[in-house]
């Protein structure tokens, strides 16, 4: 019979504790090394078509080729985006269910809605993937051919202009309120349910101003039915190269970009988030991704998880100020 001395027992227990600690640490690193080992689902809070769905499909194809797994785009519209957000927030924390987040929902919903089925803290950023500028478009009856002339005329004629939006609390609504606050002009808000009817009334001259994404107004600008005074992004739009940015047109500090970013449930292993973020970055850097984005009027712009959080915090501050000043309420 073998007898253990106190010293031998001590060494044996120490070894067992070390082995136990190593085994406890193994699943996390092993999970990250093996990730992804099955298909990834991109949950889109919008129906097919449009900025968010387009962005999801821009990243899904190159990402699938890069990781050697299927990347499925799953459209889950409903509840002003809240259906998709809550679904991802409650999903397993393993990196296989990814939210394709839209700035309009991610920023405005927590500010405007008292009760949400999800919270900001429920989600962790993987990275920003795309942005879309907006166009400051006006009816030809407005006696201004550039942004400076428009602001001057609007100040001289307070209350004579109406502006359209896609609805109370939409990006076009909040963005135009920010524009009003920065320029000091007065315009009356006319909300619509989506862009379709809004565009018809702007074309008819019943509403004179619409700040919206390029696809909604680009054709009408090119055929002379609307005037584009400026785009609201950092750079000119590739399909509207003749239209200056707001900064170039004399209004520095006004930027309005809709953005799309990827998020996973909070608590997803850090190593998994880092690997997914790096793979997404490589996918967005592919030449064909940029070509497809340009054709869709979308700008590819990757940001790290930390910088995505900073973007969210910056936009939340400016939106909250505009929402309070404009007394904006959700429909």
CATH of residue 97: 3.40.190.150
Same domain, 60 and 208: no
Cβ atoms within 10 A of the Cβ of 210, count?
A: 30
Strand segments (E) across the chain: 40-44, 71-75, 97-102, 123-132, 135-138, 162-165, 188-191, 209-212, 227-231, 258-265, 299-303
Region 76-82: what's the mean pLDDT? 91
Look at the alpha carbons of 105, 106, 111, 117 in this order and tell me if their dihedral is positive or negative: positive
Q: Which residue has the tokens 């699943």?
A: 27
Structural domain that includes position 163: 135-231
What was the pLDDT predicted at 26?
A: 46
Same domain, 313 and 269: yes
The pLDDT-based confidence of 27 (bands split at 50, 70, 90) is low
* Structural domain includes residue 7: no
* Structural domain includes residue 177: yes
Same domain, 200 and 123: no
* Structural domain includes residue 23: no
Q: For residue 326, how far is the Cα from the chain centroid?
A: 22
Task: Provide, rounded to the nearest whole percent, the portion of the chain with pLDDT above 90.
Answer: 72
What was the pLDDT predicted at 128?
A: 98
Question: 215, 231, 247: which is the final residue of a domain?
Answer: 231
- Identify the CATH number of the domain in which residue 227 sits: 3.40.190.10
22: buried, middle or exposed (CB in 10 Å: 19+, 13-18, 0-12)? exposed
Asked if the model's pLDDT at residue 13 lies above 70, the reply is no
Global pTM value: 0.81
* Structural domain includes residue 66: yes
Same domain, 111 and 150: no
Same domain, 57 and 102: yes
Tokens of 329: 């309420």
Same domain, 147 and 292: no
In 139-226, which ranges are continuous DSSP H helix? 147-156, 171-183, 195-203, 214-222
Tokens of 107: 């920023």
Domains: count for the chain? 2
Look at the alpha carbons of 57, 61, 67, 69 in this order and tell me if their dihedral is positive or negative: positive
What was the pLDDT predicted at 169?
A: 85
Region 221-239: what's the mean pLDDT? 94
Residue 28 vs residue 194, higher pLDDT: 194
The pLDDT-based confidence of 215 (bands split at 50, 70, 90) is confident
Region 30-42: what's the mean pLDDT? 85
Same domain, 126 and 154: no
Look at the alpha carbons of 251, 252, 253, 257 in this order and tell me if their dihedral is positive or negative: positive
The mean pLDDT of the chain is: 89
* Structural domain includes residue 247: no
Same domain, 61 and 91: yes
Q: For residue 135, how far is the Cα from the chain centroid?
A: 17
Same domain, 121 and 140: no
Tokens of 277: 């973020």
Q: Which residue has the tokens 């700040």?
A: 211
Same domain, 80 and 166: no
Same domain, 267 and 122: yes
Same domain, 121 and 39: yes
């Amino acid at each position: 019979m073998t007898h253990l001395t106190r010293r031998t027992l001590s060494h044996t227990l120490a070894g067992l504790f070390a082995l136990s600690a190593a085994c406890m640490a193994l699943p996390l690193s092993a999970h990250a090394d093996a990730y992804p080992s099955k298909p990834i689902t991109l949950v889109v809070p919008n129906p097919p078509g449009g900025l968010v769905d387009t962005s999801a499909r821009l990243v899904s194809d190159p990402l699938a080729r890069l990781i050697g797994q299927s990347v499925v785009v799953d459209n889950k519209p409903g509840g002003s985006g809240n259906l998709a957000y809550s679904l991802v927030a409650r999903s397993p924390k393993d990196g296989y269910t990814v939210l394709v987040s839209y700035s309009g929902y991610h920023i405005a919903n927590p500010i405007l809605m008292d009760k949400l089925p999800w919270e900001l803290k429920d989600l962790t950023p993987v990275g920003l993937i795309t942005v879309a500028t907006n166009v400051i478009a006006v009816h030809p009856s407005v006696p201004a051919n550039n942004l400076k002339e428009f602001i001057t005329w609007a100040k001289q004629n307070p209350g004579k202009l109406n502006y359209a939006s896609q609805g109370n609390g939409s990006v076009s609504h909040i963005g135009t309120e920010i524009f009003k606050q920065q320029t000091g002009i007065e315009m009356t808000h006319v909300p619509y349910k989506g862009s379709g009817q809004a565009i018809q009334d702007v074309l008819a001259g019943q509403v004179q101003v619409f700040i919206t994404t390029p696809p909604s107004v680009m054709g009408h600008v090119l055929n002379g039915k609307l005037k584009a005074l400026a785009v609201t992004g950092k750079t000119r739009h590739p399909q509207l190269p003749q239209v200056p940015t707001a900064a170039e047109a004399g209004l520095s500090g006004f930027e309005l970009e809709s953005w799309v970013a990827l998020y996973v449930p909070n608590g997803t292993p850090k190593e998994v988030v880092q690997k997914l973020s790096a793979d997404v970055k490589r996918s967005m850097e592919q030449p064909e991704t940029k070509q497809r984005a340009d054709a869709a009027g979308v700008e590819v712009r990757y940001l790290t998880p930390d910088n995505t959080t900073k973007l969210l915090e910056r936009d939340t501050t400016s939106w909250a100020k505009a929402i309070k000043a404009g007394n904006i309420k959700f429909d």
